[in-house]
Amino acid sequence: MGRHALDLTGKRFGSWTVLGRSYADYTSTSVDFRNGMIVSHSTPRWHCRCDCGAEDIVIGSNLKSGRSTCCYNCRNKKISEAQHRYQRKAHIAIEMFEEEIADV
Ligand SMILES: [Zn+2]
């Protein structure tokens, strides 16, 4: 404890580029079971810029673990692109199936 938080400034995590440490750390509390005391943990948050230009504050552990790799909009776009790909595949499968039936 007491160690200085790792500086992520300038590092890339997926589409994120870390611009600098955020003004406020993310604070969470939990109960220490050994003595019943409430302890608070502060997690560094980072000001990041996505490749699309959007900026957001991201919790450092989410960057390092890969849970956050791009902004909200880009993530939604990726999800809908994946859905389109899946739907297109499903559509092709149905067409092939219908052609097979037509051949019989
Ligand atoms: Zn983005």
Residue-range domain boundaries for the chain: 1-70, 71-104
Helix/strand/coil (H, E, C) string of the chain?
A: CCCCCCCCCCCEECCEEEEEECCCCEEEEEEECCCCEEEEEEECEEEEECCCCCEEEEEHHHHHHCCCCCCHHHHHHHHHHHHHHHHHHHHHHHHHHHHHHHHC
Distance 5 CA to ligand 1 centre (A): 26
Predicted model pTM: 0.65
pLDDT-derived band at 1, boundaries 50, 70, 90: very low
pLDDT in tens, 45-90: 999 999 999 999 999 999 999 999 999 999 999 899 999 999 999 9
Whole-number Å distance, alpha carbon 62 to ligand 1 midpoint, is 16
100 CA → ligand 1 middle, Å? 43
